Amino acid sequence: MKKELQKEIDQGTLGDYLRQARTDLDLDISDIAAITRISLRVLHAMETDDHASLPPAGFSRGFYSIYAKHLGLPVTEILHRFDSEVIKKTPKKQRIKTGRQGKDTETFAAKPSRTLRTVVGVSLVLIVVIAALASLYFSWNPATFISEKIQNLQESTKSENGIPETAIHPGTAEEDTHILGPRYVVTVEFFEDTVIAVSVDNARLEEDVYTKGSIRNWYSKSSIFLKFKDDSQLAIKINGEPLQLPPPSNGEILISLPARSIE
């Protein structure tokens, strides 16, 4: 039996024998690449006897050993054929020692994945260290920052629900006895940078610029007046209800609650 197997191995080249053994098992070369983790380029070189495209002899010897094991071929005979057919035809400068490097070839094939994990791990550690140093340098505390953002969000939610600023931040006890809640809550959402003039409770008309995406609330006990250009991109709610803008007057839109005039 051994003589018949040796005779079969000796027929044709080593690459021909490997390719024939693979096709007899109805395996595609890509299946071998997935199982052994040997690249397709190296497998093609092994099956076509393209010795110039093979890695150094020590690694190649390990690949032939892995390939033979997965095809159920006698590893000793395959390596003997490799030594006589490939090693002798390979220039000395392409050869390396086969000791431990030949035994670790299977580990060598899997090395890139571990290297990638190492690089990712080191990168994450560096990011954490840089973030910590930046926090110390700029006296920035992530926990305080998050706490402030949550507090601002809660206050913004209360304002949008019609709760006046005086209810969120109450004044003295004497003031609180007179606060029965605003008569008007005016909410304006700005879709572009907008100049708007506002008078609350007959106070002096004050003009200010509000940026795109901002939302502003005004609270009034008795009256409120707003003035802005008729082409301004904004939306207004009165006590939570959308307000249909009145017709413009001289290129401006005037809103008065209750109806009154401002000199």
The whole-angstrom separation of Cα 77 and Cα 64 is 11
Task: Tell me the three state secondary structure of residue 238.
Answer: strand
Q: In DSSP terms, which residues pair with 196 in a beta bridge?
A: 208, 228
Please say whether the beta carbons of 94 and 51 come within 8 A: no
- What are the distances in angstroms from CA 62 to CA 125, 140, 183, 218, 236? 36, 55, 86, 79, 76
The whole-angstrom separation of Cα 79 and Cα 97 is 15
* pTM beyond cutoff 0.75: no
Task: Tell me the three state secondary structure of residue 55.
Answer: coil
CATH of 182-257, one of 3.30.720, 3.30.70, 3.40.50, 2.60.40: 2.60.40
CATH superfamily of 2-109: lambda repressor-like DNA-binding domains (1.10.260.40)
Please give the pLDDT value at position 91: 57
Torsion of CA 166, 172, 178, 181, to 10 degrees: 10
User: What is the separation, in whole angstroms, between the first and last Cα of the chain?
Assistant: 116
Contacts of 206 (CB under 8 A, 6+ apart): 197, 198, 199
pLDDT tens-digit profile, the chain (263 residues): 444 444 455 567 888 999 999 999 999 999 899 988 999 999 999 999 898 898 998 888 899 999 999 899 999 999 988 888 777 666 554 444 444 444 444 444 545 556 788 888 899 999 988 877 877 777 666 667 777 778 777 766 655 555 454 444 444 433 443 445 788 999 999 999 999 999 999 999 999 999 999 999 999 999 999 999 999 999 999 999 999 999 999 999 999 998 655 44
* 192: phi then psi, degrees, rounded to nearest 5: -160, 165
Asked if residue 170 has a cis previous peptide bond (ω within 30° of 0), the answer is: no
Please say whether the beta carbons of 95 and 56 come within 8 A: yes
Same CATH fold, 182-257 and 2-109?
no
Domain boundaries of the chain, sorted by first residue? 2-109, 182-257
